[in-house]
Chains A and B, each alone.
Chain A
Amino acid sequence: MAPVSDSAVSTLPSEARARRSSRGRSQADEHELRARWLHDVVLSEVRLALLRLDDRGGSVESARRELVDLDHRLRVGQLNETMLSGGATIGEIVQVYVRRIQGLGVSLAHVTHGPINTIRLESFDAANLQHALSVMTSNALNTGASTVGIELTKDGSRVTVEVVDDAGGFDLDAVPIGRALSNLSNRAEYHNLRRHAAPRGSAVAIDVFIGASTTDGTECR
C-alpha cells in the first residue's frame, strides 16, 4: 500500500479532516496523560524509594525491602485507578495484600479462594474493603507475624474479613484511640471489630457492609 502523502491528507473532505484531527488530538492527549502519570506517580515513587535508600544506607537487603515497598505502593495506585474506573473484584483487592505479604517474606497460611473472589464491588465498597484489608494486614505484619492468613466470607450485604496471624495476639481494647485499627470501628461501613484465638495464633475480624451495587460473578462473562 502506498504511503499517504501530506497532499493526499489535504484533499480529504473537511468533515473527514476534522475527524482525523480530532483523533490525532485525542491520541496526543492520551500520550500527554500517560507522560503526566509516569511523572506524577511512577517517577515520584521511584524518587522516594531512592531517597529512602540514600537515607538508610545501602545493603542489598534494604534495597530489596525498598523495592518491595515501591512495588506495593504502585500496585495500590493501580488498584485505586481500577476501582475508580468502575470498581474491582474482591480477588483483585485481596491480591494486592497477598503480594505484599509474600514480598515481605511472610508465609501465607491460607487465602480464601473460589467464587467470592469474582464478586465485583462498586468503587465505594471496593475502597472500604481495601481499607480494611490494608489496616488489618499491616497490623499483622507490624506486630511481627511470620505467617498470615486471609479469610473472606459474604453473607448478603456483609463481607467479613478475617486476618489470622501467629504474632501472639494483643488486647484489642488496649489499641490507642486514633490508631488505624481503632478507627475502623468508628466508621459506619464497618461493624463488629473483634479478636479471637485461632489455631497457632489469633485472628482479627471485621464486617464490611457493602451497598446494593454489587454484582456476583460478572467477571467470568
Chain B
Amino acid sequence: MSVSSILLVDDAAALGELFARALAKHGGHEVQFVASVSEVDAALTRGPFDLAIVDLSFPQEDATGIDALVEIHREHPTTLLAISTQGDRWVADTLRDAVELLPIATVLSKSAPLDFQLGMIESLLTGETPPFDPAITVMLGRDRHPLRTPERFAELFPHQGHLKLWEALIAADHEVTYQQVVDHTSLKLNTIKNYRSQLLPELRVHGLHDPSLRDMQQFAWRCRAFLAPFL
C-alpha cells in the first residue's frame, strides 16, 4: 500500500480529526485536516494532494463544500475529489450540483461503517473507481441534463440585467423578496420579473422547473462558484 497525501475538509472538527487519524493509521497516509472552507486556500499551498475528501455542509460559514471542491480542482486539477456526507435531504441539492458539475470520483456516506469508508478510499487511491455509497445514490434521483456543464452557466447571463439579478440574489439575506432585488439593482419590478421569466428555459438545464425567486437564490448560493466567473 503506497502512502498518499490527503486533504480532509469537514466542519465537524472532532469527527474530522478522528477520521484523519483513521486514514493515517489504516493506510499510513499523510492527512492534512482543515475544519472550514476558508482554510482550504492555505492548505493548498502545502499540496498538491492525491485526494481531497470534502464535506458539503458548512453552516457556520457563508460557503458550501462545492466552493472548496471548485477551489481544489482549480488549483490542482489532478487531485481526486471525493465527497463525504450524511446525504440527508438538506444537502441533496448541493450533492446533485457537485456530482453533476465536478469530476467527483466517489461519494462516501458518513454513516457507513469506518472499514467500508476506508476500503472505498483505498480503492480510489489504487486507481479504481468505487461506486458511490448506495445510501447516497438513493438521494441523487434524477439523471444529469446532458447540457449541464460549468461552462453552460454563461447562458444564465444573456444580458447585463441578468447579471444584476444574480448579484442581487447572492447578496440578499435569507428569504429574498422582489423588493430586495428592486432595491439592490435599481431595476423596475416588472423588469426583474421579465428577467426571471427569460431565464426559466435555461434553468431547466440545471434541474430547476419554474423556480421561485427563493429557489433561484438557493441555487445561486449553492452554485456561486460556477456563477462567479460571469459576475
Name B137's contact: one of A82, A89, A105, A111 (CB within 8 Å). A111
Cross-chain contact B139 with A114 (CB below 8 angstroms): no
Smallest CB–CB gap between A94 and chain B, Å?
Answer: 5
Among the stretches B8-16, B18-26, B50-58, B111-119, the one at the interface with A is B111-119
Report the minimum CB–CB distance from A123 to chain B (whole Å): 15
CB neighbours (8 Å) of B210 from chain A are: 221
- A103 surroundings in chain B (CB, below 8 A): 111-113
Within B128-183, which residues are at the interface with A (CB < 8 Å)?
Answer: 133-135, 137-143
Contact A98 B135 (CB under 8 A): yes
Are A102 and B116 CB-contacts (below 8 A) given A95-B87, A111-B134, A221-B208?
yes
Is there contact, CB below 8 Å, between B211 and A113? no
A102 near B113 with CB under 8 A, answer: yes
Contact among A94, A99, A117 with B111 in the assembled complex (CB-CB below 8 Å)? A99
Interface size class, chain A: 20 to 34
In Å, the complex CA distance between A91 and B138 comes to 5
Q: Indicate if B207 sits at the interface (CB-CB under 8 A).
A: yes
Q: Taking the complex as formed, is B109 at the interface, i.e. its CB lies under 8 A from any CB of chain A?
A: yes
Q: Are B113 and A105 in contact (CB under 8 A)?
A: yes
Q: Does B92 contact A (CB under 8 A)?
A: yes
Known: A82-B89, A95-B87, A111-B134. A219 touches B141 (CB 8 A): yes
How far, in angstroms, from A108 to B136 measured CA to CA in the complex? 13
A contact residues around B76 at 8 Å (CB): none
> Are A114 and B112 in contact, with the CB atoms below 8 A?
no
B contact residues around A220 at 8 Å (CB):
93, 96, 141-142, 207-209
A92 at the interface (CB under 8 A from B): yes
Interface of A is mostly: helix
Q: B134 to chain A: which residues have CB within 8 Å?
A: 98, 102, 108, 111, 113
B15 CB → nearest A CB, Å: 14
Which residue of chain B is the closest to A112 with respect to CB atoms? Answer: B138
Q: What's the minimum C-beta distance from A142 to chain B, rounded to whole angstroms? A: 20
Task: Tally B residues with Cβ within 8 Å of A.
Answer: 26
Interface string of A185-221 (1 = CB under 8 A from B): 0000000000000000000000000000000010111
Nearest-CB residue, chain B, relative to A88? B89
Tell me if A115 counts as interface (CB < 8 A to partner B): yes
In the complex, the answer to whether B211 meets A221 with C-beta atoms within 8 Å is yes
Contact between B138 and A98, CB atoms less than 8 A apart: yes
- Distance, CA A118 to CA B111, complexed state (A): 21
Q: What CA separation (Å) do A111 and B136 show in the bound complex?
A: 10
Cα(A82)–Cα(B89), bound, Å: 10
Contact call B135/A118, Cβ cutoff below 8 A: no
Tell me which residues from 83 to 121 in chain A have a Cβ below 8 Å from any Cβ of chain B: 89-92, 94-95, 98-99, 102-103, 105, 108, 111-115, 117-118
Among B96, B143, B207, the residue within 8 A (CB) of A114 is B143
Contacts of B39 in A (CB 8 A): none
B215 CB–A CB distance under 8 Å: yes
Nearest CB of B to A23, in Å: 15
CA distance A118 to B93 in the complex (A): 12
Interface string of A125-160 (1 = CB under 8 A from B): 000000000000000000000000000000000000
A106 CB → nearest B CB, Å: 10
Residue from A82, A105, A111, A217 within 8 A of B138 (CB atoms): A111
Known: A95-B87, A118-B141. A102 touches B208 (CB 8 A): no
The complex places the Cα of A103 from the Cα of B109 at a distance, in Å, of: 11
Does the CB pair A95–B141 fall under 8 Å?
A: no
Contact A115 B141 (CB under 8 A): yes
Give Cα distance in the complex from A114 to B138, angstroms. Answer: 7
Nearest 6 pairs of A and B residues by beta carbon: A118-B141, A91-B138, A111-B134, A113-B137, A98-B135, A117-B141
16 intermolecular pairs with C-beta atoms under 8 Å apart: A82-B89, A89-B141, A91-B139, A91-B140, A91-B141, A92-B138, A95-B138, A98-B135, A102-B109, A102-B111, A103-B111, A114-B141, A219-B92, A220-B96, A221-B208, A221-B209
Q: Which residues of A contact B (CB under 8 A)?
A: 71, 82, 89-92, 94-95, 98-99, 102-103, 105, 108, 111-115, 117-118, 217, 219-221
